[in-house]
Amino acid sequence: MLSHFNHLTLAVSDLARSVDFYHQLLGLKLHARWDNGAYLTCGELWLCLSVDAQREFVAPQRSDYTHYAFSISESDFAGFVARLEQAGVVSWKTNKSEGDSWYFLDPDGHKLEAHVGNLAQRLMACREKPYKGMVFFD
């Protein structure tokens, strides 16, 4: 039986650029780097960046809604967003759900999100205004 999410691997086209983005700009902890990859962490999340010669930038309008969300405190949110905007990071979506969120792209077009809140808060908001056809199991 599965116990928890182990790690996330993202295919990248330029390792140096991606390590700089995730470590320097987003603040993830860098643990190891080699010719074709790197290991970083964000809290308990283990992130692997892996060079893939076939990886190309995918424009947000050409891809699906799949994205990866990171937690951020309410007190850090505005400064974080301002720093990314100042660095020219591209936003791909406007937040329409409960809790502050900023949706942005990494250098390879992976869709990311900085989100204030957790599942309990989201479920509480959904109980007040459920999505179409929503059923709760707890």
All domains of the chain in start order, with CATH: 1-54 (3.10.180.10), 57-130 (3.10.180.10)
Q: For residues 127 and 43, give the distance between their C-alpha atoms in angstroms, rounded to a whole number.
A: 29
pLDDT of 57 > 80? The answer is no
Assess whether pLDDT exceeds 90 at residue 9: yes
Q: How many CA atoms lie within 13 A of 88 on its CB side?
A: 1
Q: How confident is the model at residue 119 (pLDDT cuts 50, 70, 90)?
A: confident
pLDDT score for 23 = 97
Count of Cβ atoms closer than 10 Å to residue 75 Cβ: 8
Query: pTM higher than 0.75, yes or no?
Result: yes
Dihedral, 70, 87, 15, 54 alpha carbons, nearest 10: 80
